[in-house]
Amino acid sequence: MKKITRIIVFLLSAVILLTTGLIPASAQEATTTVNKKLILGTSAEFAPYEFHKRIDGKDQIVGFDISIAKEIAKDMGAELIIEDMGFDSLLSALQSGRVDMVISGMTPTEERRQSIDFSDNYYMARQVMIVRAEDKDKFLTMKDFENEKISVQKGSIQEEIGQTIQGAQLTALDKIPDVVLQLQTKRVNAIIVEDTVAEGYIDSETVIADASPADSESYAAIGIKKGKVELQAAINDTLARLKSEGAIDQMVKDASILAAKVESGNILTTAWEYRNYYIKGIGFTLLLSALGVLFGFIIGLFIAILRMTNIRIVKWLGTAYVEVLRGTPMLVQLMIIHYGVALTLGVNFSPLQSGIITLSINSSAYLAEIFRAGIQGVDRGQMEAARSLGMNRITAMRHIVLPQAFKAVLPAIGNEFITIIKESSIISVIGMADIMYQAGVVKNITYQGLSPFIIAAAIYFVLTFTLSKLLNALERKLSASDNR
Ligand code: ARG
């Protein structure tokens, strides 16, 4: 038991160092280092503007917006840092100062101008409707799209256009590849995107419809926090230089070539080529689950003890804790911790921190019940015997009851560990780069809808299967003394 305490203390301090030391490091750097940093906010799922691509085995964000950003940083003598996030979150990231500028194919609409400033325009695109090739003849005028199922990107001007189509049932999603997937899987019959983007997606099955939205031209400009006139002027200078050199057209061309569909190999080649993504994901999943279990264990034990005291209010609090956490979805708990706490209390947890907190408290509720069952399952006589030998309650608990209880509930705890490894995939929705998240990235790069997830499933299975074998072995070892 002593040893266990020591190990727990050690792990705890390691964790605290890790989560407090590592994560805010980037935030600190921004203010303390001498060389200037320019933080770019973008939503890298918008080829050829900005997208993920595996280059020399490493994941990189590329595209003509990124090339422009690099030129701006170069002219300012600053180091460019890219923050990838949902398109829908870009405006608030700029307003809250998390990023210095937004380059994301963003159209400077009147509505957006209310909350942020824009540079000069650097690009012009047209809106198009993409439909499945077999439906091409059904959609000849914009009227034909009325009452249709249409998908668009959330928070984009395409969503606004969709809202003007009578009776259209809109599905607004975060990422363009998912929007395209909606069309391919026949969940919608049309999508609205920009022509430059459409080019990367049309093939033998999907085509640009003859009809296109009225006033279909839209511009792209760089978003800046309101009132940052110097930055705005610097950006405009770079844009003017690039335009006079004809550089932007060239950047668009290069980016389009880069964005061209990678020919999709089979699942094994995908697994091998993108192994680094998955390996990184495994690291995060294991870290997240291990810490979730560790803290869940400690909190759970504490709650179990609360529930077994004779003080009514304490008992009631323990029960309420367990019931509430077991009775609400983990996804909801995650949203409250990650966004709710940030908005109301101003505490901004990183995705890793929010993930650990959510998993810990969620699993602590289940573990508390397991512990309680285990402790109550130990014969009362054990406690009485220990007490009559002169041990006090706490010592008796620690040396006599808990070890026996622990052995009895080990299989149940093992199940909980396995559950946590699988459930941790939920944390990917807040941008935690675990296995599930990486599968999504690989899907977006390869345009494959199935293989990336089969690979993820295989990895999760190997992890949980190994763990369950290990736990079996541990169980056998612990029960060896019972079989004398
Ligand atoms: N131009 C459109 C808009 O401003 C779409 C931009 C989407 N950009 C992106 N990176 N997903 O609403």
Centre of ligand 1 to C-alpha 276, Å, is 29
Distance CA 226, CA 91 (A): 11
Question: Are both 24-122+221-261 and 125-217 of the same fold?
Answer: yes
Q: How many CB atoms lie within 10 A of CB 27?
A: 11
Give SS3 for 372.
helix
Which atom belonging to ligand 1 lies closest to the Cα atom of 125? Answer: 1
Distance from C-alpha of 262 to C-alpha of 274, rounded to nearest angstrom: 13
Q: Which of 109, 223, 201 is nearest to 161 (CA)?
A: 109
Distance, in Å, from the CA atom of 417 to the CA atom of 469, rounded to the nearest integer, reads 13
- 191 C-alpha to ligand 1 centroid (Å): 14
pLDDT for the residue numbered 126 = 96
Residue 119's SS3 state is: strand
How far, in Å, is the centroid of ligand 1 from the Cα of 176? 9
Q: What is the pLDDT of residue 26?
A: 39
Query: Per-domain residue ranges for the chain?
Result: 24-122+221-261, 125-217, 269-483
Which pairing describes strands 190-194 and 149-153: parallel, antiparallel, or unpaired? parallel
326 Cα: distance to centroid of ligand 1 (angstroms): 39
Whether residue 107 has its Cβ less than 6 Å from ligand 1:
yes
Task: At 50, list the tokens.
Answer: 């900005």
pLDDT along the chain (484 residues), means of 10: 55 52 41 72 94 86 97 96 89 86 97 96 96 95 96 95 96 92 93 94 91 93 96 97 96 92 79 93 95 94 91 95 96 91 80 94 95 92 93 91 89 91 92 92 85 96 95 84 64
CATH class of this structure's domain 24-122+221-261 = alpha beta
Top-level class of domain 125-217 = alpha beta
Among candidates 72, 121, 124, 74, which has minimal Cα distance to 100? 72
The pLDDT of residue 283 is 96
Read off φ and ψ for residue 165, nearest 5 degrees: -85, 120
- Examine residue 48 and say whether the peptide bond preceding it is cis (omega within 30 degrees of 0): yes
Q: Which residues contact 392 (CB under 8 A, 6 or more apart)?
A: none
pLDDT for 78: 96
Question: Residue 430 has what pLDDT?
Answer: 83
- CATH superfamily, with its number, for domain 269-483: MetI-like (1.10.3720.10)
Nearest in space to 310 (alpha carbons), one of 387, 234, 393, 216: 393
CB 153 within 8 A of CB 45: no
Token pair for residue 210?
């003859």
Residue among 42, 152, 158 whose CB has most ligand 1 atoms within 8 A, to mutate: 158
Ligand 1 within 6 A of CB of 123 = no
Task: Give the Cβ contact number of residue 475 at 10 Å.
Answer: 14
Helix (H) or strand (E) holding 403: helix 402-423
